[in-house]
Amino acid sequence: MEVHSFGLLGDFVARLEKDTLGEVEVPDDAYYGPQTVRALNNFRVSDEKLPAGFVKAQAAIKIASAKANMQTGKLDSHIGEPIVEAAFEIRDGKMRDHFVVDAFQSGAGTSQNMNANEVIANRALEIMGYEKGRYDVIHPNDHVNMSQSSNDTAHTAIHISAVESLNSELIPEIDRLLSSLNAKAIEFNKVVKPGRTHLQDAVPLTIGQELSAYVRMLELDKKRLVESVDCLLELNMGGTAVGTGLNTPPEFSRIAIQEIRSVTGIEFRITENAFEATQGAGAILECSAALRGLAVSLTKIANDLRLLSSGPRAGIGELNLPAVQPGSSIMPGKVNPVMAEMLNMVCFQVLGNDTAIMMASQGGQLELNVFTPLLAHNLLKSITLLTGGIASFRNKCVDGLTANIEKCAELAGSSLALATSLAPMIGYDKAAEVAYRAHRENLSVKDIVIEMGLLEKSELERLLDPIELTGINK
């Protein structure tokens, strides 16, 4: 073989392959083929590829399709079995470096689908003892892509990869964060502190009560996310180009979905309407909306912890976040809430991803939504970001969270909002007068009430008991 130069690939030993547009030089050690090489040169956009989870889902589709085609008599087993073996290798993580197409690529993910078809075809040829490129024996389109189209496989791969990632990665990580937050809520259940509304003093509560709100927020976010998973369980297996199922044998979809269940261990089901599944992206949009909701809750939690730990001398300082690294290149001894800041940035990116998903979901025309690569890239990226962000935040921040108990008690005792508990006894207007005087004269609410002779000391002590004010004993 000769050494040739080709675009970004530099010098390499090449084999000459052919597709419908003509001849293409392919690196001899590459398992991909001519259409992938064309995509490499056409889509020089970013350094990002569709993630491993998507490729793993593609492999599951090729396995299920080959088995369904063999069972219906459309594909000879001496071709189908090597295809299945090669696809299982890819699902196990092998040959990942040969999935090289940029995430921002041809509409409908045709390049990504052909990348998978070519890699599987060439590996299957190798298994059979042939050289790569012998498409007269196993063809990427005729055999590996049999009974499929990019139009149905791309949507299906998004659904499979999202469900697998959510079930094995993100949802378990949410559970771990819930467990950590709940443990802290129990630990600080009777640590009284001032509440704040409008960033102004409000009636007291405990840190445990405050954290319990975060727990419930995340429980509801998880519930919505799990509900979105059910929508993603519906797969477009066998819809082919526009949803008609053209070029698929009878029973293909039924058998293929059974094989998908076998490969993944997940109870996927066939779509009720292949035309909708090809044109729309409703399940993907719903999942992204659930991720967006999770990101919003996490942003609120991260922001709150940053405020409550502000200081250490000139801020609120009720909570202490673990010091995990120096906070300033110029101010010695400064420590910043970097884990909460990281989580904020993760969540901001997820919100941006959701906006792109929304645009892509409504952008498809007529019988096909062509923006599946972007849908896949952003949805799976959001799942990955949230999984890693939550894990790091829990491990390096929440698990080491401590309360500044003395500071909480001091602030709670000095809050002007304590006058609220006196209103039923002395009236709203008189209670307001107490609060205003306490603020002007820099005295406590208790001091002003005693000075004004409004209540007996014993009654005042009962009304201003910190724990009773929080309602925690009710």
- Active-site residue list: 328
In terms of Cβ atoms closer than 10 Å to its own Cβ (0-12, 13-18, 19+), residue 94 is middle
How many angstroms separate the Cα of 86 from the Cα of each of 34, 79, 222, 279, 423? 19, 11, 36, 31, 76
375 neighbors 357 (Cβ within 8 angstroms): yes
d(CA 261, CA 355): 32
Q: Are strands 192-197 and 200-206 parallel, antiparallel or unpaired?
A: antiparallel
The sign of the dihedral angle between the CA atoms of 273, 277, 280, 282 is: positive
Alpha helices in 72-109 (DSSP H): 77-91
- Measured between alpha carbons, how far is residue 395 from residues 318, 334, 388, 467 in Å? 20, 21, 11, 31
Give the whole-angstrom CA distance, residue 452 versus residue 447.
9
List 402's β-bridge partners, or say none.
Answer: 320
What is residue 318's three-state secondary structure?
coil
Tracing tokens 């094989």 back to the chain, one arrives at 259
**SS3 state at 34:** helix
Report the distance separating Cα 108 and Cα 115, nearest Å.
13
| DSSP letters for 398-445 | GGG-EE-HHHHHHHHHH-GGGGGGGHHHH-HHHHHHHHHHHHHHT--H
297: part of which helix (H) or strand (E)?
helix 282-308
Residue type, 15: R
Identity of the amino acid at 6: F
Whole-angstrom CA distances from 317 to 165, 306, 308, 320 are 38, 10, 6, 7
Computed from CA positions of residues 426, 432, 436, 442, in that sequence, does the dihedral angle turn out positive or negative? positive
DSSP per-residue codes, 217-279: HHHHHHHHHHHHHHHHTEE-TT-TTTSS-TT--TTHHHHHHHHHHHHH-S--EE-S-HHHHHH
